[in-house]
Amino acid sequence: MEHLQELLFRLCSAPGMSGAEEAAVKAAEQELKQYGAISYDPLGNLVCQMGDSGAKRRILLDAHIDQIGLLVAGITERGFLRLAACGGVDRRALPGTTVTVFGRELLRGVVCCLPPHLVEGSEEKVEPVDKMYVDVGLSREEAERLVTPGDRILWEITPRTLLNGRFTAAGLDNRAGVCTMIRCAELLAKEELSCSVTTLLSTREEVGGQGAKTGAFAHDPTEAITVDVSFAGQPGVPEQKSGKMSAGPMVGIAPTLDQEMTDELVRLAKEREIPFQYEVMGGTTGTNADSIGTARSGVRCALASVPLRYMHTPVEVIDIVDIENTAKLLAAYIREGKVWQI
Amino acid sequence: MADITLLQRLCELHGISGRERQVADVILEEISPFATTVQKDALGNIIAFKKGAKEPSVRLMLSAHMDEVGLIVTHIGENGLLKFAEVGGIDRRVLCAKPVLVGGTVSGVIGAKPIHLLEGEEKGKSVPVSDLYIDIGAKDKADAECYVSPGDFIAFDAGFHRERGTIISRALDDRAGCAILIDMIKEELPYDMTFVFCVQEEVGLRGSAVAAYTVDPQAAIVVETTTAGDIAGVEPERQVCHVGQGPVLSFMDRRTIYDKPYFDLAMKLAEEQKIPCQTKQAVAGGNDAGAIHTTRSGVRTIAVSIACRYLHGPASLIAEQDYHDTERLVRELAVRIAAGENAQ
């Protein structure tokens, strides 16, 4: 598990906001290139090709590599940066947070907030993101020299280990999925595969899933499994809407997912004694599986999610063991899963 | 020039109110070779006397506080999550989704319900402290109890950064004041002076009250950080003071009306010595001066502060130049007060 923890640390230390995934993609490439042939496509998706590329069974494994963050929307007269959200940012997590601004140089900043001594009225209200500012300690002239609207901003936070193999970082949604992909490739590395396995680390999921849409078209798979994160149990989250930390991958069941593939994942998990749990959804899944399923003339699709707490905050939490078990389940499916006729 | 390495060393220590020992130990180590006498009192205040070249005509005490705001573990839930209370004044809006250290060593995070599951107005509302909790990764209560217990202190897990003329760190309030006092103790002084490093400022100015009683000074300078509201979105009249415009002199806050002749002396000195200087343009907050100036039969008291943004948050910000200029002004002012200038 220790090497998995180090891998996750490296993946989470590389920034990769939607549309600016380069550093995160490079970090993943460093890991994946030993297992297959690497290529890129026009939207910046990283593709790693393993197995027999001429095989009839062509499996696409998808995990989005981008993470949510902020953009510089402008610079005020006194050098503060105006903000726009890039993806579903939780504004409650922003006041007082230290951030990195990816300008011409890296700048450290703080999201403005008043000290309690000067707060008049209620502490209840949190301003919307477009009324928040980042302080980089510079005058307008200096700020304009180093920062351009559109520059990315991410919370500055070092990944940390918690007790019991649990791990906290920003962007575990979905570096946990990326880590699962790399671990799965590692598990299969020394084997002769009779199928084609295309790992797609897709971009822009948090702003609409454009990477997976074009990636699924380009690689024309016969089947696909998306790995993402989903809600783990925590106070305030109803039990029926959440999975359990450390209890294995959440296998998705939904009208938009392929029932036979899902059944096959469950069969293999039971046979191989890989812990797993169900995540039942009534329609679409809110993941890349939704768009991959309708690529070209249609792709049968399954979904496995790593349970995660505090989603879309800078302190997301997962258990490494859930990544390991998700990777094992994917590897088992690739090795022994049924071959679908259509 | 004020010593920034020392400031960093102090800021990286943990010392919420009532748990200042780590800070006190380092301060003792720093000042013991230079002070004439050093003592610790029953509450944990450090009182250091430094003999100068001459006897002062006014017995002067300089004061800074060692403690910082933070959190304290109140309860461990069956689910292994920790409930906590605030120690000192913290705006609850800076708590959500921050990394913390429990007991100085155990990593944790302050959890929040995912934004996807919030309904309607919830998205724009801060989470009340009673609904927040800390996740250290414990599987359950028994597991958590192996690592933490109620009463353990909790601090924001945030580093010290110095770049482009600014310093960003937690606990600048008031390790910056402590660092300035330590710098002064390390040099030869023209007059005898007493320096106190106080406990429990953030929970009611308790340390300074007893330290001032013990020292029994005629005059006091409180060296502090103060609330800079000069940020985007705040109207000019509510900004209080400005980062980068020099040390801040208070005429009045919620606890003290400051000594006018000493306030005037400080203004005059700043002009004489060409030290940039500003007044605190609001009656807000309060500091150890509130307790010191009413000690025994009264102490003539002035506060010199560094303008600090995001006070009582995980990352407060000062200008490096303000730190140096504050130290210069405090030194000059101390000498002139001890010499008897503007004494009644």
The pLDDT score that the predictor gives to residue B123 is 86
| Same domain, yes or no: B24 and B126 | no
| Same domain, yes or no: B313 and B219 | yes
B96 touches chain A (CB under 8 A): yes
Q: Is residue B203 part of a domain?
A: yes
**What pLDDT, in 10s, does the model give residues A226-285?**
999 999 999 988 888 899 999 999 999 999 999 999 999 999 999 999 999 999 999 999
Torsion, Cα A31 A37 A40 A46, to 10 degrees, reads: -40
The pLDDT score that the predictor gives to residue A169 is 97
| Same domain, yes or no: B141 and B268 | no
Please give the interface size between A and B, counted as residue pairs whose CB atoms are below 8 Å apart. Answer: 212
Placement of tokens 């069974």 in the chain: A57
Q: Is residue B165 part of a domain?
A: no
Is B314's CB within 8 Å of A310's CB? no
Q: Closest by alpha carbon to B116, among A203, A250, A68, A110?
A: A68
- Structure tokens, A17: 């906001």
Is A311's CB within 8 Å of B116's CB? yes
The pLDDT score that the predictor gives to residue A240 is 84
pLDDT at A171 over 80: yes
Q: Are B48 and B194 in contact (CB under 8 A)?
A: yes
Q: What is the mean pLDDT of residues A61-80?
A: 97
pLDDT at A16 over 90: yes
Query: Of B156, B179, B196, which one is at a domain's C-terminal end?
Result: B156
Q: Are B257 and B294 in contact (CB under 8 A)?
A: no
A140 touches chain B (CB under 8 A): no
Determine the distance from the C-alpha atom of residue A265 to the mean position of all C-alpha atoms in its chain, rounded to a whole number: 21
Overall number of domains in chain B: 2
**What pLDDT, in 10s, does the model give residues B118-145?**
888 888 899 999 999 999 999 999 999 9
Interface of B with A in 14-73 (CB under 8 A): none
What is residue A194's three-state secondary structure? Answer: coil
Sorted by sequence, the CB contacts under 8 Å of residue B195 that are 6+ apart come out as: B31, B35, B47, B48, B49, B50, B61, B62, B63, B181, B184, B185
**What pLDDT, in 10s, does the model give residues B231-282?**
998 999 999 999 999 999 999 999 999 999 999 999 999 999 999 999 999 9
pLDDT at A122 over 90: no
For a pLDDT cut of 70, what percent of chain B falls above it?
100
Q: Is residue B164 part of a domain?
A: no
* Catalytic residue selected from B20, B30, B201, B224: B201
- Structure tokens, A108: 């450290």
Q: What is the mean pLDDT of residues A164-168?
A: 96
Residues written for chain A: 342
What b/e readout covers B66-85, taking b as 16+ CB neighbours within 10 angstroms? bbbbbbbbeebeeebbbbbe
The span from the CA of A118 to the CA of A133, in Å, is 17
| Same domain, yes or no: B209 and B239 | yes
| Same domain, yes or no: B239 and B183 | yes
Placement of tokens 């790399």 in the chain: A182
Give the mean pLDDT of chain B.
96
Q: Is residue B163 part of a domain?
A: no
pLDDT at B13 over 80: yes
The pLDDT score that the predictor gives to residue A236 is 86
pLDDT at A89 over 70: yes
Chain B hits for A279, CB-CB cut-off 8 Å, are none
**What pLDDT, in 10s, does the model give residues A299-316?**
999 999 999 999 999 999
A145 touches chain B (CB under 8 A): no
Maximum distance among all alpha carbons in chain A?
69
Tell me the HSE value of A176 on the side-chain side, using a 13 A CA sphere. 33
Chain B hits for A234, CB-CB cut-off 8 Å, are 111, 113, 135
| Same domain, yes or no: B118 and B201 | no
| Domain limits for position B246 | 4-68+170-338
Alpha helices in A44-161 (DSSP H): 140-146
Q: Where does the pLDDT of residue B68 fall: very low under 50, low under 70, confident under 90, or very high at 90 and above?
A: very high
Domain extents in chain A: 2-67+170-336, 69-118+129-155
pLDDT at B4 over 80: yes
| Same domain, yes or no: B304 and B185 | yes
For chain A, where are the E strands, in sequence order?
A: 37-40, 46-51, 58-64, 69-75, 81-86, 98-102, 106-111, 133-135, 152-155, 160-161, 166-169, 196-202, 223-231, 250-253, 277-280, 300-308, 316-319
| Same domain, yes or no: B44 and B141 | no
Query: pTM for this structure?
Result: 0.92
Annotation says B201 is catalytic = yes
Distance to chain B for A132, nearest Cα, Å: 8
Determine the distance from the C-alpha atom of residue B107 to the mean position of all C-alpha atoms in its chain, rounded to a whole number: 24
**What pLDDT, in 10s, does the model give residues B214-230?**
999 999 999 999 999 99
Q: Where does the pLDDT of residue A184 fall: very low under 50, low under 70, confident under 90, or very high at 90 and above?
A: very high
Q: Where does the pLDDT of residue A326 fall: very low under 50, low under 70, confident under 90, or very high at 90 and above?
A: very high
Residue A311 backbone dihedrals phi, psi, to 5 degrees:
-55, 140
CB-neighbour burial class of residue B321 (10 A; exposed 0-12, middle 13-18, buried 19+): middle
Q: Is residue B102 part of a domain?
A: yes
For a pLDDT cut of 70, what percent of chain A falls above it?
100
The pLDDT score that the predictor gives to residue B122 is 86
The pLDDT score that the predictor gives to residue A312 is 96
Q: Closest by alpha carbon to A105, among A147, A71, A140, A70?
A: A147
Q: Where does the pLDDT of residue A342 fall: very low under 50, low under 70, confident under 90, or very high at 90 and above?
A: low
Nearest Cβ partner for A231 among B110, B114, B240: B114
Placement of tokens 């900004």 in the chain: B239
| Same domain, yes or no: B301 and B317 | yes
Q: Where does the pLDDT of residue B2 fall: very low under 50, low under 70, confident under 90, or very high at 90 and above?
A: confident
Q: Are B65 and B198 in contact (CB under 8 A)?
A: yes
Is A97's CB within 8 Å of B315's CB? yes
| Same domain, yes or no: B35 and B126 | no
The span from the CA of A138 to the CA of A81, in Å, is 10
Regarding the domain with residue range A69-118+129-155, which homologous superfamily does it belong to in the CATH classification?
Answer: Peptidase M42, domain 2 (2.40.30.40)
Give the mean pLDDT of chain A.
95
B284 touches chain A (CB under 8 A): yes
| Same domain, yes or no: B269 and B299 | yes
Instruction: Return the CATH number at B124.
Output: 2.40.30.40
Q: Are A163 and B143 in contact (CB under 8 A)?
A: yes
Regarding the domain with residue range A2-67+170-336, which homologous superfamily does it belong to in the CATH classification?
Answer: Zn peptidases (3.40.630.10)
State the pairing for strand pair A58-64/A223-231.
parallel
Residue A296 DSSP symbol: T
Query: Of B89, B123, B156, which one is at a domain's C-terminal end?
Result: B156
| Same domain, yes or no: B87 and B179 | no
Q: Are B43 and B207 in contact (CB under 8 A)?
A: yes
Residue A270 DSSP symbol: H
**H or E stretch at B144:** helix B141-145
Is A236's CB within 8 Å of B315's CB? no
Q: Is residue B161 part of a domain?
A: no
Chain A hits for B309, CB-CB cut-off 8 Å, are 110, 112, 135
